[in-house]
Structure 1
Amino acid sequence: MNLHVAFPYNADQVGGSTVSSLTLIRELVRLDVKVTVILHGEGPLEADCRDLNLTIVKAPALSQRPMANRADGFHFRNLLSTPKLVKILRDTKPDIVHINDLSMLRTWAPVTKISRVPMVKHWRSTFKRSLSVYAGLMASQRVIAISNYNERTLPARIRAKTVLEWNPSDVMLGDDERAKARVEVRETLGLPPDAKIVGVFGNHSLRKRTHVLADVIAALKDAGDVYGVACGKRAEPYDHLLDEKIEAYGLENRLFKPGFVSPVTKWIAGCDLVLAPAVREPFGRAFLEAAAAGTPLIMSSDSGAADLIEHERSGLLVDPEDLSEWIWQSLRVIRDNDLAEGLVLAARSSLERFSAPSHASRIKDIYEKLLH
């Protein structure tokens, strides 16, 4: 009988972690693992799951508004769905529940305990003191960290049952696909064919520091036709500096916010440079996505991916708070084609160790060892 794994999600939350987990699911299915996706509420993730021909079970929508007096964002009302979720597990009979985000951890930890179904937590965050998160991690039979950086933040008792598995990369785009993406992105934005584009990809939360893009685009006004794209959804706490700086610098026609874009690899391939200026970044999927798309990357040094990037060879690492360095390094890449091409070649050569099929095979091994 095939191994059966359930993956619960909020249907309206899509980001880098979701992309990584869907890449894993796609490869698990190819390894004959039965996958059931449990979706809370309505949202764009349902279409992504249907594109993969996955079995979908609908679950009650959960409140995404944290209680005002709780710093950990836990919402007690979400526990009211526990009886219905227990019934879903009894009806679907998965061998394992695989959790990918904190909201699902808090909601599903008691469900898996009551149902006596093993839970695997894919740890895609950095740990901050939180009773609800700690209890959820303690209830997990196995924790999978995505970088040395985010594993180090875990309490010792959690690290004792944690294994490290870097996020998987996706299929690399060829030269023709990259050229096509460059044309399509410029046409979509109404930009000249030879325009240079600097992009930031991810939800526009305070931690992601998307506003750095505005400073870079303002500083590069004299470097030719250079434009910015901030791709992603608004997320709380929102990075209000992004809007304030766009207005202050007069960038309304130079920095675009197209929202969530798909396929994200096409948009990254359409850029001449990608910035990832976040702080406390558990991994930094931008490293894998930029390399797959063939676009040079400047990455925050406060990230898990910083362990994988060789500065000045496969990418550029910058202190997230050093704004002048972000501007200078961006100018270097935009002006120096040889530097840009060299960074891409080295980054692409490092992707082999992150292949999605081998990643899925190792995750399947984790499941099987847990059950036997």
Structure 2
Amino acid sequence: MPTSPSLASRPAGRDAAPYHIYFPFIGQNIGGSHISAFTLAEALIADFGVPCTVIARRGSAILEEAASKGLGVMEHDERAATAQNGRHNPLYDLRRLPGRISLLRGLPKGGILHTNDIGGLQSWMLPARFCGFPMVYHHRALNRRVRLNEIIIRSADHVIPISIETKANADFVPPARATTIVDPLSIDQSVDRERARQTLCRDFDIPADAQIVGFAGNLWRRKRPDFFLAVAAAMAERAPKAVFVIFGRDGDFTIQDMKDEAARLGIAERLRMAGFRTPVEDNLAAIDLLLYPSLREPFGRSPIEAALLGKPYVGTDDAGLSEIMSRWQGGRLVAKEASAAEFADVALAVLNDPASVVLTPERRQAVAEELSPREHARRAIEIYDRFRDRL
């Protein structure tokens, strides 16, 4: 353990930071884990003067987004991990081992690797071990409890679960090597809600007096975008002004799949596929209600982001969403066994009486401070400080 004061106790700019944080990624597109990692990196730089660099595939949306945020970037020419499981074949990782070792050995002394998914940890655990780099793993998923996953996660020097649910999912990690830190949220609560709504309505031909019901997330099966459409169909019968907007890109389902299903359900004219749009504040500020029917959600950024903007949500009473409701409120939850009609009943009740669930401005400010990037970075630094004698 270091004997000098923690970096978290002093403001940025006093002295050179004793370490440099590298965030390696192996995919192609942006998701919630990337947004959380970039938010952390921005706070580390701005609030504590800790240099951060993103390592990602050349030409990837990940690298482009990191560069746009002013983060350091390093590119590699590896192929992108498959979207289905988010990791490389282990044989591919072995073939790439010499190149990864060479990359790490070319870095200045004082580096710490901070991985943000199990695929990245699998790919970089051996290079880090060979080169003596401490490895921090941000545990953001509910991985299958199989021996291989346990071996990979145990390889990290420290694990950061993002919720009670993810901590339980990695309960085989010794307590001294695991610290739960909820994901940081950087939301501009001053966003012009009327402007955001007008822009969305203009871009997607939505009537000005519509009740806008949103879905935010890439189209993965566990997020249940197909169930969202079933709920939308049930709501449409009783909410003639409702328009349903999906913010997200292809996953297990494609955008065309969603359009086809909406046509089958008879709501094609009331569905808008907005794709992946940033900033997230503009998306959530423009809607009247967020539906989040995900199952096995490790945490779930969108519901609490909506709550911070004074927008109600209705989600599934399961995993991380249950934790969000119990700690911060701001919406309603529905049993995970609920039918689309039952989910729609709750959604319509909230849509017609949002004041019954939305957080007060004072409560929103308190939650924003609790989940601030600065606080997240401060706690991450307490973990990095443990490795100062190894750098």
**Structure-2-length-normalised TM-score:** 0.86
* Alignment correspondent of 2:342: 325
1:340-369 Cα deviation digits (max 9, x unpaired): 545887556433211111111111111012
Mapped contact 1:72–1:130 kept (Cα < 8 A) = no
CA deviation after TM superposition for structure 1 residue 207, in Å: 0.8
CA deviation after TM superposition for structure 1 residue 283, in Å: 0.6
1:196 equivalent among 188, 205, 211: 211
1:278 equivalent among 294, 297, 302: 294
CA deviation after TM superposition for structure 1 residue 142, in Å: 0.1
1:133 equivalent among 128, 149, 158: 149
1:7 is aligned with what amino acid?
F
2:70 is aligned with what amino acid?
N
User: Which stretch has the larger CA shift, 184-193 or 235-244?
Assistant: 235-244
Give matches, 1:324-343, under 5 Å. 324-339=341-356, 341=358
* Alignment correspondent of 2:105: 90
1:185-237 Cα deviation digits (max 9, x unpaired): 11111111121111111111111111222122212223131111111121237
Residue 224 (structure 1) aligned with residue 255 (structure 2): no
1:143-191 Cα deviation digits (max 9, x unpaired): 00000111101142355521100111213422x6122111111111111
Mapped contact 2:25–2:57 kept (Cα < 8 A) = yes
Residue 371 (structure 1) aligned with residue 382 (structure 2): no
2:368 equivalent among 351, 355, 361: 351
For structure 2, which runs of at least 5 residues remain unmatched after alignment? 1-15
Residue 186 (structure 1) aligned with residue 206 (structure 2): no
| Aligned residue pair count | 369
Give matches, 1:257-268, under 5 Å. 257-268=273-284
Identity over aligned residues, as a percent? Answer: 26
1:73-129 Cα deviation digits (max 9, x unpaired): 745223322211111111123521000012211111111111110100000011313
CA deviation after TM superposition for structure 1 residue 29, in Å: 0.6
Between 1 and 2, higher relative CO (CA 8 Å, sep ≥ 6) is seen in: 2
| Distance in structure 2 (CA, Å) of the matches to 1:15 and 1:9 | 11
Shift in alpha-carbon separation, 1:346–1:254, aligned structure 2, 3 A: farther
SS in structure 2 opposite 1:309? helix
| Distance in structure 2 (CA, Å) of the matches to 1:206 and 1:343 | 33
1:57 is aligned with what amino acid?
M
Give matches, 1:1-372, under 5 Å. 1-2=16-17, 3-10=19-26, 12-30=28-46, 31-65=48-82, 74-93=89-108, 94-157=110-173, 161-174=177-190, 177-221=192-236, 222-236=238-252, 242-243=258-259, 245-310=261-326, 314-323=330-339, 324-339=341-356, 341=358, 349-372=366-389
User: Which stretch has the larger CA shift, 5-14 or 129-138?
Assistant: 129-138
| Distance in structure 2 (CA, Å) of the matches to 1:66 and 1:16 | 14
User: Which stretch has the larger CA shift, 16-25 or 214-223?
Assistant: 214-223
Mapped contact 1:284–1:303 kept (Cα < 8 A) = no
SS in structure 2 opposite 1:295? coil
* Alignment correspondent of 2:3: none
| Distance in structure 1 (CA, Å) of the matches to 2:103 and 2:96 | 11
Shift in alpha-carbon separation, 1:312–1:212, aligned structure 2, 3 A: farther
